[in-house]
């Protein structure tokens, strides 16, 4: 039986990896410092408390591990979080690579993001040869994912067998915390976005992402990156599919794009007074405004057998998941 180690195991991707790896009879270890372990309930998982930014706290977890799925990352589009973003996403990745090499891990699957690539030109298909972000003034999250990937490349030169997965936006079931987009999904379903700026993104079903990542263990080349996208869909399209599922009208109208900027003060105040993640920042608006809609995922489809499912299936399954948890009324 192969042993898999997941960093960030209680997160959205980690929760779904646990389920897919269980189907394939892997022995599973998870590194996490979160106290919320709903993602593991009912599954045979060895939980190891540790912080990837502290190499000593996670060293023992890598012993007798065959494959590491490095999903742990801090996703934040708030610039004041720059230092902690780099601590988790860059230093943490270096520590994971160092320990994977030290303990002779057979394969590392590093989860990066399409945001690690330079965004422009946005009218050209996003392919694996797109340059990585280097601008020190770029969105801190984007730069951190690009710098982390460069670290993975360096360790490949030292002998580590590592492949890099670049998901687009991720959504789907088993989103227990929930994620930032998961919360927005809930808001739409509960009628809190009846008038919305009609922005969109390329989203991949988290289950398809995890299946493709597991395929990468055997099929992925070392020091190769694979873009794993799904389907482009805007908020109105999501709302229409959710309306059909819930049998009620959710989106009543659309607003001009500049209304996205008008939401910034209220987003800031809600975060300040209610201690919740900001729903909108200048960088989050920039992310959806300047983005690649053409994500063919050609390499992942050809080499890793990536097969994105229809987006309505993902939406229906996600609605049912949140309904069961009482988050969609």
Q: Does residue 212 form part of some domain?
A: yes
H or E stretch covering 96: helix 92-102
**pLDDT, mean over the chain:** 92
Q: Does residue 127 form part of some domain?
A: yes
Q: Which of 225-239, 241-255, 274-288 has the lowest mean pLDDT?
A: 274-288
Bridge partner residues of 4 (DSSP):
28, 67
pLDDT above 70 coverage of the chain, percent? 95
Q: Does residue 280 form part of some domain?
A: no
Q: Does residue 165 form part of some domain?
A: yes
Q: Does residue 150 form part of some domain?
A: yes
How buried is residue 234: exposed, middle or buried, by Cβ count under 10 Å (0-12/13-18/19+)?
middle
Rounded (10°) CA dihedral 181, 5, 81, 147: -100
User: Strand order of the sheet with strand 231-234?
Assistant: 169-171, 200-205, 231-234
Q: Does residue 327 form part of some domain?
A: no
Task: Output the CA–CA distances (angstroms, integers) from residue 105 to 1, 13, 79, in the order listed.
Answer: 15, 21, 35
Q: Which of 29-38, 150-159, 264-273 has the lowest mean pLDDT?
A: 264-273
Q: Are 161 and 196 in contact (CB under 8 A)?
A: no
Measured CA to CA, the distance from residue 34 to residue 184 in angstroms comes to 22
Print the domain residue range for 211: 3-173+202-232+293-310
At residue 230, the pLDDT reads: 97
Nearest to 219 by CA among 165, 166, 169, 157: 165
pLDDT tops 80 at residue 258:
no
Q: Are 32 and 10 in contact (CB under 8 A)?
A: yes
Q: Does residue 323 form part of some domain?
A: no
Measured CA to CA, the distance from residue 209 to residue 169 in angstroms comes to 10
Distance of CA 79 to the CA centre of its chain: 19
| Token digits of residue 174 | 């088993």
pLDDT band of 97, cuts 50, 70, 90:
very high
Measured CA to CA, the distance from residue 228 to residue 167 in angstroms comes to 5
| Token digits of residue 113 | 């993001």
Q: Does residue 276 form part of some domain?
A: no
User: Strand order of the sheet with strand 27-32?
Assistant: 45-49, 27-32, 3-7, 67-70, 107-111, 162-167, 225-228
pLDDT tops 80 at residue 279:
no
Q: Domain containing 40 — which CATH number? A: 3.40.50.720
Number of domains in the chain: 1
Measured CA to CA, the distance from residue 238 to residue 103 in angstroms comes to 44
Measured CA to CA, the distance from residue 233 to residue 21 in angstroms comes to 29
Task: Output the CA–CA distances (angstroms, integers) from residue 54 to 121, 213, 272, 324, in the order listed.
Answer: 38, 25, 29, 37
Residue-wise pLDDT tens digits, 42-94? 999 999 999 999 999 999 999 999 999 999 999 887 888 899 999 999 999 99
């Amino acid at each position: 039986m192969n042993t898999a180690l997941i960093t960030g195991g209680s997160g959205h991707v980690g929760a779904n990896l646990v389920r897919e790896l269980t189907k394939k009879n892997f022995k599973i270890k998870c590194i996490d410092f979160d106290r919320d372990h709903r993602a593991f309930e009912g599954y045979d998982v060895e939980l190891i408390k540790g912080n990837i930014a502290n190499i000593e706290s996670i060293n023992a977890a890598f012993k007798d591990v065959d494959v590491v799925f490095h999903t742990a990352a801090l996703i934040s589009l708030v610039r004041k979080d720059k230092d902690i973003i780099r601590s988790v996403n860059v230093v943490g990745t270096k520590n994971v690579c160092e320990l994977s090499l030290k303990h002779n891990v057979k394969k590392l699957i590093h989860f990066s993001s399409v945001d690690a690539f330079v965004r422009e030109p946005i009218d050209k298909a996003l392919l694996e040869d797109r340059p990585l972000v280097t601008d020190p003034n770029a969105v801190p999250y984007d730069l951190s994912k690009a710098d982390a990937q460069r670290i993975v490349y360096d360790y490949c030169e030292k002998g580590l067998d590592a492949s890099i997965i670049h998901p687009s936006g991720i959504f789907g079931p088993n989103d227990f915390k929930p994620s930032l987009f998961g919360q927005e999904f809930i808001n739409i379903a509960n009628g809190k976005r009846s008038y919305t700026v009609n922005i969109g993104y390329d989203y991949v079903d988290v289950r398809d992402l995890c299946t493709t990542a597991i395929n990468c263990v055997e099929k992925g080349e070392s020091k190769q990156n694979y873009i794993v996208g799904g389907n482009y869909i805007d908020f109105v399209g999501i709302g229409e599919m959710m309306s059909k599922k819930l049998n009620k009208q959710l989106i009543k109208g659309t607003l001009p794009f500049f209304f996205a900027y008008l939401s910034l003060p209220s987003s800031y105040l809600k975060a300040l007074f209610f201690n919740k993640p900001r729903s909108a920042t200048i960088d989050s608006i920039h992310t959806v405004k300047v983005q690649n809609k053409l994500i063919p995922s050609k390499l992942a489809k050809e080499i890793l057998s990536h097969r994105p499912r229809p987006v309505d299936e993902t939406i229906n399954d996600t609605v049912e998941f949140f309904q069961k948890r009482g988050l969609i009324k």
